[in-house]
Amino acid sequence: MTGRTAPQASPDPRLRWRPAGTAELDDWAALIARTAAVERPVWFERREDLAQILESRTNPVAANSILGFDDREVARAYARLTKNPDGDKAVGFGCVDPEWQGNGIGTGLLGWLEARTLQRFAEDAGTAGPRLRLYMEQQHTHQAQLFERRGYRIVRYYNEMHRPLDAAFPEPELDDGLELVDFGPGLHEAVRLAHNEAFRDHWGSEPRDEEAWGFVVNDPQARPDLSGVVVERASGRVAGYQIASHDADSAADRGFKEGYTDLLGVRREFRGRGIAQALLADAMRRFAAAGMDKASLDVDAENPTGALALYTKMGYVAVNRSMAWDKEL
């Protein structure tokens, strides 16, 4: 599973295909950047993100990716797959160089992802029936057309929400049994366990093991100084958390600086005590002090905890929408 041979037949004979690896890192990152310059996604993987992905043991890139090069050795297309060993879905990623779009290569990449998904589910015997999930932003209609032709269907919508930081901040108060503290290495594992418990009832969420959590806390854009944790004073248990990041490159592209809440969660038994509100208000203050213009986050439009209503009440406004597409294989 860790060799340098792609696990499936090549998606298209017009390109030479091989798995992504350290030697391909610069070409891989350049392909994604060229595509993003045309398609203008809100976020895309940069070189440092890909370098982190190459370290995965659960989803070794050598066995779960394919990168296509033209005759001049320029990377023109790629696909990558991830799956938790006991998960009920695989998640696909990929892109085609804008100069090579519209000639069937994207269809070939989806075929490769679907075949690799079947392999992964066969390897992880005992998991649910094979299913591949893809994500896209609403403005990328060419992707929607491709997904529809291949038999995918939208299963969820997500809202990107912004809150300007030049307005007055809410001032919720925690009760005496709770305390808001800084997030640091000493709380990494406790917050991971709290996150798995808090998101147990959220659609599409799967528990994060230590490797997956390492990708969160060691992300190149991670900002622990903009993050916060609420703990129960008596027991020291984590009641809730807000984990934030800042992407300086995205700020240059979009024309404003945003503090982004990657994860916000409250353990079930602590809900209804104003913890989420306190964490978000704390985040706004941290973001503003760090020179940010906006607080931002993404939310499942059908979140069962009423998060969308909470964010709206705290001044967040939806500015963009994305979708999750599934195909049962």
pLDDT of 156-181, one tens digit each? Answer: 999 999 999 999 999 999 999 999 99
Same fold, 16-151 and 160-320: yes
pLDDT for res 304: 58
pLDDT for res 307: 86
pLDDT for res 127: 66
pLDDT over threshold 50, residue 28: yes
pLDDT for res 9: 67
Identify the architecture of domain 16-151 in CATH: 3-Layer(aba) Sandwich (3.40)
pLDDT for res 212: 95
**Which amino acid, 164?**
P
C-alpha–C-alpha distance, residues 112 and 110, integer Å: 5
Q: Which of 3, 140, 125 is nearest to 65 (CA)?
A: 3
H or E element, residue 81: strand 75-82
What sign for the dihedral angle of Cα 226, 192, 160, 174?
negative
59-93 pLDDT per residue, tens = 999 999 999 999 999 999 999 999 999 899 999 99
DSSP state of 116: H
Q: Which of 162, 97, 166, 92 is nearest to 130 (CA)?
A: 92
Could you tell me how far CA 129 lies from the centroid of its own chain?
23
SS3 217: helix
β-partners of residue 17 are 68
pLDDT over threshold 50, residue 100: yes
C-alpha–C-alpha distance, residues 127 and 251, integer Å: 40
Of 3-12, 21-30, 287-296, where does mean pLDDT reach its minimum?
3-12
Instruction: Break the chain down into helix, strand, coil percent, rounded to 5.
Output: 35, 25, 35
Mean pLDDT of the chain: 94
Overall pTM surpassing 0.85 (yes/no): yes
pLDDT over threshold 70, residue 7: no
Given a contact cutoff of 8 angstroms between Cβ atoms, the answer to whether 82 and 47 are in contact is no
Domain boundaries, given as residue ranges, for the chain: 16-151, 160-320
Model confidence at 33, pLDDT cuts 50, 70, 90, reads: very high
174-219 pLDDT per residue, tens = 999 999 999 999 999 999 999 999 999 888 899 999 999 999 999 9
pLDDT for res 129: 86
C-alpha–C-alpha distance, residues 162 and 250, integer Å: 15
Taking residues 12-19, what's their average pLDDT?
A: 96
Residue where the block lists tokens 């809730």: 240
**Which amino acid, 134?**
L
Q: Let me know the angle formed at the C-alpha of 279 by 222 and 283, rounded to the nearest 5 degrees.
A: 50
Nearest 5°: phi and psi at 278? -65, -40
Percent of the chain with pLDDT over 90: 89
C-alpha–C-alpha distance, residues 14 and 253, integer Å: 33
C-alpha–C-alpha distance, residues 278 and 153, integer Å: 37
CA distances from 241 to 159, 171, 278 (A): 20, 17, 10
107-142 pLDDT per residue, tens = 999 999 999 999 999 998 866 789 999 999 999 999
Taking residues 261-270, what's their average pLDDT?
A: 97
Q: Which two tokens stand for residue 249?
A: 């490159």
pLDDT over threshold 80, residue 327: yes
Model confidence at 8, pLDDT cuts 50, 70, 90, reads: low
pLDDT for res 2: 40
C-alpha–C-alpha distance, residues 237 and 74, integer Å: 51
Q: Is residue 98 packed enough to be buried (19+ CB in 10 Å), middle (13-18) or exposed (0-12)?
A: middle
Q: Which two tokens stand for residue 194?
A: 């709290």
Model confidence at 226, pLDDT cuts 50, 70, 90, reads: very high
pLDDT for res 10: 80
Taking residues 230-234, what's their average pLDDT?
A: 98
- CB atoms under 10 Å from CB of 126, counted, come to 7
Model confidence at 4, pLDDT cuts 50, 70, 90, reads: very low
Fold observed for domain 160-320: Aminopeptidase (3.40.630)
pLDDT for res 319: 96
